[in-house]
Amino acid sequence: MTSATAPRIAVPARTVHRFVEVDGVEVFYRESLPDHPDAPVVLLLHGFPSASHQFRRLMDALGRTHRLIAPDYPGFGHTRTPDGYGYSFERLADTLEGFVEALGLTRFAMYLFDFGAPVDFRLALRRPERIAGLIVQNGNAYAEGLSDAAREFTALTPDTPGADEAVLGLFTLEATRAQYEGGTERPELVAPEGWVLDQHFLDLPGRKEAQRALAYDYKSNIAAYPRWQAWLREHRPPALIVWGGRDPFFPAPGARAYLRDLPDAELHLFDTGHFALEECVPEIAPLIDGFLARVWG
């Protein structure tokens, strides 16, 4: 076969895997190596119970034209956390702010997903001048984006009868798999490696205690919704909303609610669940590519 007739193949991006020290935390992160040094920068913040590996396919698809950076939070993935680290969403934001500083990031778009949304919004409130745009994927910031099950779960306190049993029940392989497959149209497109790897990390020493603390702290995010919404109204960042409309935890009204404060945002709902990239990355990646081309200039 000659070169003239050889089939064209999409060559995935090269990705490096590193640690950086931030106030005693060894933060693990993945970073794509784009072909151009001035490529748009995107901070990809993962959800529960996952880690940066959830973005591997997106990084393969877009990493040659964009600098994609995906860290693991303390208590997740490969990140190493010292004894005595206090797990709260505010503390995670402190560590991620230090991570941004350590990498010298001065302008970037943010990918808001699940737990990543409360971390990202805290970073945005602290450093609004650095935010070039938002990519929102099942990252909630509105009361109507909470399902009845989410409201009940996030209302739990350590003193609620049966609360620990309910929280710890979320850290099982069955529950982890259900988060990946729940709401999907074609579950056979969801690779099992995701939930198996998540469960491996959840079962490491000390991880369930860290996740228990964050579960009880989640109500601090709901209390912060008005501040996040005010930030959106004030700064009007360009936004792309790509949402799994069958998410049993953060349903579609949470996606539409963003349009109240960001009426110019671009909204796409997909017939899939919480981990929308697992089933719909071929549809979502081009939308992100086009959005970044517009906002980065």
pLDDT in tens, 101-139: 999 999 999 999 999 999 999 999 999 999 999 999 999
**Where residue 2 falls among pLDDT bands split at 50, 70, 90?**
very low
Mean pLDDT of 7-33: 93
Q: Which amino acid is at 71?
A: P
pLDDT of residue 10: 78
- The chain-wide mean pLDDT, for the chain, equals 96
Kindly write down the DSSP assignment for every residue of the chain, as one continuous string.
--TTTSPP--PPPEEEEEEEEETTEEEEEEEEE-SSTT--EEEEE--TT--GGGGHHHHHHHTTTSEEEEEPPTTSTT-B--TT----HHHHHHHHHHHHHHHT--SEEEEE-TTHHHHHHHHHHH-GGGEEEEEESS---SGGGS-HHHHHHHT--TTSTTHHHHHHGGGSHHHHHHHHHTT-S-GGGS-THHHHHHHHHHTSTTHHHHHHHHHHHTHHHHHHHHHHHHHHHHH---EEEEEETT-SSS-THHHHHHHHH-TT-EEEEESS-SSHHHHHHHHHHHHHHHHHHHHH-
What is the percentage of the chain residues whose pLDDT exceeds 70? 98
What is the percentage of the chain residues whose pLDDT exceeds 90? 96
Catalytic residues: 274
- In degrees and rounded to multiples of 5, residue 85 shows phi and psi of -65, 130
Instruction: Say if residue 7's pLDDT is above 70.
Output: no
Say how far apart CA 296 and CA 87 lie, in whole Å. Answer: 34
Weakest mean pLDDT among 8-22, 69-83, 192-206, 217-231: 8-22
pLDDT of residue 4: 55
Mean pLDDT of 251-274: 98
Instruction: Say if residue 67's pLDDT is above 70.
Output: yes
**Where residue 9 falls among pLDDT bands split at 50, 70, 90?**
confident
Mean pLDDT of 240-247: 98
pLDDT in tens, 45-55: 999 999 999 99
The full set of domains in the chain, from first to last, is: 14-296 (3.40.50.1820)
**Where residue 195 falls among pLDDT bands split at 50, 70, 90?**
very high
Assigned token pair, 163 = 């609360």
